[in-house]
Structure 1
Amino acid sequence: MRIAVVGGGSTYTPELIEGFARRMDVLPFDEIVLQDISAERLEVVGGLGRRIFAKSGIAERLLTTTSLEEAVDGASAVLVQLRVGGQQARLVDETLPAKFDLVGQETTGPGGFAKALRTVPVVLRIAETMAELAEPDAWLVDFTNPVGIVVQALLDEGHRALGLCNVAIGFQRRLAARFGVPADRVRLDHAGLNHLSWIRAVYVDGVDRLSELLDSTDADALADETGVPVDLLRTLRAIPSYYLHYFYCTDHVVAAQRVGPQRAAEVLEIENTLLAMYADPALDSKPELLEQRGGAYYSEAAAGLVTSLLTDDNALHYVDVRNEGTIAGLPDDAVVEVPATVGRTGARPLPVAPLAPEMLGLVQAVKAYETLTIEAARTGSKAAALRALIANPLVREWDLAVPLLDELLAANATYLPAFDPGRG
């Protein structure tokens, strides 16, 4: 059993390696292959990965390569966790929109749009290589943002893929700690799109405890976590994803971004420090600093999902998958983020109650934007890109969309060969 990690030079990777090491008894893999375009980062991250595996006596099962073909050849599962353009491109995603008084963020708004244009063609090429070289029933697990858009593009092209985000599992773990119970006794009614979801019930041993949370002082902590006023939580009677504060509190976000600091700059500094730490031959576990990088519980979510896909354990996960009637008011082929049981044949979404009107309307608008963004990313059409931007609730205005697109394309020209000047 070979598991490949594309973007294996990421500073997230040691946490992922620890997750697989802990699961050797239920997921007896033969090798983990880390692939990255940077040989230098592979050497550093791979070195720490081998030392982590060495504690379990399996150091020889971790391989590294800069060749995508070599990594996915014969793979049973491929995890994709790359960032086209690196942190410098992310910095542009976060800062350029400010020129237009718009939210600057790497997965939503105009920044997320630019990232999708860069990312979708690259991940589709990875999937095409998988189709040629990996096992016939291999799964692509996407952790690359914007996850919902990437997975929609993959499934629309007929690839065998699931999307994974750590938002739901993060809430599940933190809420379990608040109630003082093991995580497996907490189940969330989590529904929506990736980075546009709500928790509408928190079941602890089958009993919904959400109202208890919202009507107590715990709601203040939840408001801090999600970045929205506590009265909004109590009005919605739900816990919104942190990313919804970009929609609910747009003016406050833009004002805060004007004074900084920029998250991309902070992450770049953390990454440089982490890579220096990883290079220490005495280090054989992920450092605590990694928690500040983001992606909490990534190792549990990713390793657990791969385990379900390859061992058919039918465990519960929160994944990005075809709607197929799960959320009323969305097309069956739309990719949504919902709880599902997962086995070798993929994810089987569990029934969820209809979204409230204020939730469904926003989801429908963002799904329309996502559809148009995929069209633009695949075709290089400026007309499709403009339609995507005016459909995006965080842009909308034509007088902003036209100059914004010109600047986004110019800033990302290196990564967007499809958008040649002569294309309409």
Structure 2
Amino acid sequence: MLKIVTIGGGSSYTPELIEGFIRRYQELPVDEIWLVDCEEGKEKLDIVGNLAKRMVEKSGLPIAVNLTLDRREALKNATFVTTQMRVGLLDARIKDERIPLSYGLFGQETNGAGGMFKAFRTIPVILDICKDIEELSPDAWLINFTNPAGIITEAVNRYSNINKVIGLCNVPFDMHTAIAKILDRPKSDVRIFMGGLNHMSYVTKVVCDGKDVTEYVISKWGTHSMNNISGTEWSNAFVRELGVLPSPYHRYYYMAKESLEEAVDKFKNHGTRAENVKRLETELFELYTDIDLAEKPKQLEQRGGAYYSDAACNLISSIYNDKGDLQIVNTLNRGVMAEFEYDEVVEISAMITSNGPVPVAVGKMPKCVKGLLNQIKSFEVATCEAAITGEYNKALLAMMINPLVSSQKYAIKILDEMFEAHKKYLPRFTK
């Protein structure tokens, strides 16, 4: 039996996941999909779960969709477990963004202080899930696209006994799409090689028709952005000298002043990104309640994480069918990137086999990006250690070494205020 369990099944992204399994049924014949959520998410689970059932019914496929608040019941004999959680829901994300921005520093759900606190809330929960998987479905693959995906995958690898875990992000998917558009070719004709860390990875090589077209793509790289990240166009002279393609998230580091000014202005005049997402999600769930709706609504693509779920279905199919195709995932380095330790998690191009990802050589990173990569990895590791120990000083260290904070005075103020704001979800921490 091919059984898929989705933790965080009440997510607004779930219809995209269901659509992905329906479209791939001939190569990925799923028998059961279990959508799991907690008591706080029960209403959303019921709404999105019933939409999922209507989608499957419309497809005519023999896939059973089950809804439950009992995680352990769902996990028995699972083949794949996907996680798409938001501990504290969007209200917690709003705090992650508002509090740093009120001090004139970045407030973002996966980077800086906000990303760190999202990791603090999520790591204990994901490790509890891992314990259940070890007991109830020890052969299952854990596919995590809960943000911050790199830190969460690092924590699972460091602090659980699960070794069949892969982290996934939609940024490489989005960059692949943009590069194919530059080349005016279908994505299937274009291979991209990426290396680095989650939200900190670079495209090192682009191949089309067997030819290296990296220099051409670099010469055209300019305005590429995402639904949740826009901003100043890249200086092409800078990108050419950098020698690798930066992602939209790199704007936070290479255009820090401009990006921060834009974020603070939006915060003061239009509210946070999280508040806008909450309004969009409310509209989506109003659509989902329509009993005549039996497909993924187009509006879902306006979410910043659009295509996460499609990337997850693609990954699961490649493992199940031992395809050996190239995908960008968060997995153990295994010595492929000299910039990181052998057993550290990196975001890298890998061949996807039935035994999991096999990282491929993506080339040596330019010296000009190594320092930033290592600084972010040290932040990820320090964040994991703080989340596990609950030690205030370790949390302060993690925040202080993040380049988006860079202020002792405000780091302490933000840390104290965010611990107070999120204390319901951080029982492990004491000052």
Percent identity, aligned pairs only, is: 40
Partner AA of 1:384 in structure 2: K
Q: Please name the residue that 1:257 is paired with.
A: 263
> 1: CA distance between counterparts of 2:63 and 2:170?
29
SS of 1:222 mapped into structure 2: coil
Q: Deviations over 1:344-393 (max 9, x none)?
A: 21110011111111211101011011111001001100111111112111
SS of 1:333 mapped into structure 2: coil
> 1: CA distance between counterparts of 2:21 and 2:42?
23
Partner AA of 1:148 in structure 2: G
C-alpha RMSD of the superposition: 1.7
Q: Please name the residue that 1:341 is paired with.
A: 351
* Residue 73 (structure 1) aligned with residue 83 (structure 2): no
Deviation at 1:296, TM superposition (A): 2.8
Q: Please name the residue that 1:145 is paired with.
A: 147
Structure 1 gaps of 5+ residues are none
Q: Please name the residue that 2:186 is paired with.
A: 182
Partner AA of 1:127 in structure 2: C
Structure 2 gaps of 5+ residues are none
> 1: CA distance between counterparts of 2:414 and 2:55?
45
* Residue 199 (structure 1) aligned with residue 203 (structure 2): yes
* Residue 131 (structure 1) aligned with residue 137 (structure 2): no
Q: Deviations over 1:131-155 (max 9, x none)?
A: 1111x21111000000010001101
Q: Please name the residue that 1:100 is paired with.
A: 103
Q: Deviations over 1:208-262 (max 9, x none)?
A: 22322333xx433337976453243233233211111111112222211222132
> 2: CA distance between counterparts of 1:400 and 1:272?
33
Q: Please name the residue that 1:26 is paired with.
A: 27
> 1: CA distance between counterparts of 2:46 and 2:102?
39
Q: Please, which of 33, 44, 47 is the counterpart of residue 44 of structure 1?
A: 47
Q: Please name the residue that 2:212 is paired with.
A: 208
Q: Please, which of 409, 419, 422 is the counterpart of residue 399 of structure 1?
A: 409
| Pair 1:6–1:296, CA change in 2 (3 A) | same
Are the equivalent residues in 1 in contact too, given 2:392–2:430 (CA < 8 A)?
no
SS of 1:220 mapped into structure 2: coil
Deviation at 1:304, TM superposition (A): 1.0
Q: Please name the residue that 1:389 is paired with.
A: 399
Deviation at 1:23, TM superposition (A): 0.9
TM-score relative to the length of structure 1: 0.95
How many positions carry a matched residue from both structures?
418
Q: Please name the residue that 1:171 is paired with.
A: 175
TM-score relative to the length of structure 2: 0.93
Q: Please name the residue that 1:9 is paired with.
A: 10
Are the equivalent residues in 2 in contact too, given 1:226–1:241 (CA < 8 A)?
no
Q: Please name the residue that 1:111 is paired with.
A: 114
Partner AA of 2:144 in structure 1: D
Q: Please name the residue that 2:309 is paired with.
A: 299
> 1: CA distance between counterparts of 2:223 and 2:419?
40
